[in-house]
Structure 1
Amino acid sequence: MPNFLPINTILVPQGAEYKAVCRAFRGVTGSIPTVVAIPVGMKPLRKYLQQGQFLAAKSRVLIMGICGSLSDRHTVGDIVLYQDCVYQGKQQECDRTFTAKLYSALSTPHSPLPTPHSPLLVKSLTSDRLIWSAAEKRRLGETLAADVVDMEGFTALEFFNASGVDVAILRVVSDDCQHNIPDLTPAINSDGSLKPLPLAIAMLRQPLAATRLIRGSLTALKVLEQVTNRLFSGYSLK
């Protein structure tokens, strides 16, 4: 396989997703990327990236985390590699060569995945608000031809593509498009952090949806941890 630049930095939404990726590096020897916790949401992330000092050109950044499904084809625990992200009619592409190398790394029989299948190449929608309704997820998936949704991908790609930094996005599906999840909008601060009390209230108001969300998130976070560990301990990206 041709050589390519190593991954310099991993960006992961703060909280449980960031902790899952960090756990994956326990016991991993040798040089590992810098793992950076980023705020949740488009506006907080844009402000964070603009204020920070992020890498030189020709660096490689991997964005990791969890996402929601907009299609029956993608269920909880599925590993997805983004081809691109859309937002309000605009599109930003992931680096094709970087993404292809990651796909190859995660698909090799010498580095088996913790799920029965290889990662899926998907088209993503980035939303500036939480999409909690199953009906809205299905509608967005059909009208925009998108497979999954997150709240950071387009912003990150827009920033790093303009800076000449190669970017790939690897996520794990945490909720499907068949069931509602709790509306956690009131629990998200303007800076992208979560407010514990409104979060608890939102979960208590919809106990069945909350239970489903918790189970899906725990499954996705476990897969996220396993995939990170496989990628950096079982395969050379040099």
Structure 2
Amino acid sequence: MTKNELIILVPKGAEYNAVCRGVKAASSAPLVFSIPMGVKPLTQYLEKDFSRSPSQVLIMGLCGSLSPKFGVGDVVLYESCRYEGEVLECDRSFTTQLYHHLKTKVPLVKSLTSNSVVYSTSEKRELAEKFPVEVVDMEGFPALKILSQRGISVAMLRVVSDDSQHNIPNLNAAIDNQGNLQPLSLAREMITQPIATFNLIKGSLQALKSLQKVAAKI
């Protein structure tokens, strides 16, 4: 892949750090930028602060599985993103290029962008029954919509960090209006939900390792 025409965008924090560690192992590392979590914070960032115009943008990070077909650590390549009744396709040429570049069978999935963290198995089940989607995140749709409108080819490569059979903590109160994770609020939520917290930590550690490995192949 042509590195000088490619920029990688990754949610800030552990996901960003994992991707940065991964691309450092590559022979020619593309530029990596951190983005805020959530639809509104990311929309504001892309509209006001992201002025670059590369030919290709790759969105990377973690996602949640809505299907028993995909478990923790699985790498998935997005085919499309759905949000509030609207569906957008990722750039087919770029996605195909990425698929062949990885040289491993990475499944194509349909994704859903949510305004909040989807943390319970019951909500995941409801979303899977309501929409023809297999994974969920909080950034995919606005990134695809805004960047595509600028004529930028967008592909999305993510790693599953929580499956459809286990709860994780409700982290919505720990994310501020700027899309930042607040450590004290996060700690409070985790203390009150020990089993869900165990699932979160275990899944995140495994998924971040997988994210770092796949980033090294970009």
Match of 1:105 in 2: 101
The change in CA–CA distance for 1:55 and 1:36 in structure 2 (over 3 A counts) is same
User: Could you tell me how far apart the structure 2 residues matched to 1:107 and 1:6 are?
Assistant: 21
The change in CA–CA distance for 1:125 and 1:119 in structure 2 (over 3 A counts) is same
Match of 1:40 in 2: 37
The gaps in structure 1 that reach 5 residues or longer are 109-117, 232-238
SS at match of 2:72: coil
Could you tell me how far 1:4 is from its partner in structure 2? 7.1
- State the one-letter code of the partner of 2:27: T
User: Could you tell me how far apart the structure 2 residues matched to 1:140 and 1:33 are?
Assistant: 35
Q: Is the 8 A contact 2:73 2:210 kept in 1?
A: yes
Dislocated runs of 4+, deviation >6 Å: none
Match of 1:96 in 2: 92
Q: What is the CA deviation profile of residues 61-84 of structure 1, one whole-angstrom value per residue up to 9, with x for unaligned ones?
A: 000000000011111011000001
SS at match of 1:169: strand
After TM superposition, the score normalised by the length of structure 2 is 0.95
Matched, 1:49 2:46: yes
- Residue from 169, 175, 184 that aligns with 1:188: 175
- Residue from 59, 62, 85 that aligns with 2:58: 62
User: Could you tell me how far apart the structure 2 residues matched to 1:10 and 1:21 are?
Assistant: 9
SS at match of 2:112: strand
- Across the two proteins, how many residue pairs are aligned to each other? 218
User: Could you tell me how far apart the structure 2 residues matched to 1:5 and 1:188 are?
Assistant: 32
Could you tell me how far 1:230 is from its partner in structure 2? 2.1
Match of 2:195 in 1: 208
User: Could you tell me how far apart the structure 1 residues matched to 2:52 and 2:198 are?
Assistant: 40
Q: What is the CA deviation profile of residues 32-66 of structure 1, one whole-angstrom value per residue up to 9, with x for unaligned ones?
A: 2110000000000000011124333x610000000
After TM superposition, the score normalised by the length of structure 1 is 0.88
User: Could you tell me how far apart the structure 2 residues matched to 1:166 and 1:54 are?
Assistant: 15
SS at match of 2:176: coil
- Residue from 14, 17, 24 that aligns with 1:16: 14
The gaps in structure 2 that reach 5 residues or longer are none
User: Could you tell me how far apart the structure 1 residues matched to 2:86 and 2:103 are?
Assistant: 30
Could you tell me how far 1:193 is from its partner in structure 2? 0.3
The change in CA–CA distance for 1:27 and 1:150 in structure 2 (over 3 A counts) is closer
Q: Is the 8 A contact 2:25 2:216 kept in 1?
A: no
Q: Is the 8 A contact 1:161 1:167 kept in 2?
A: yes
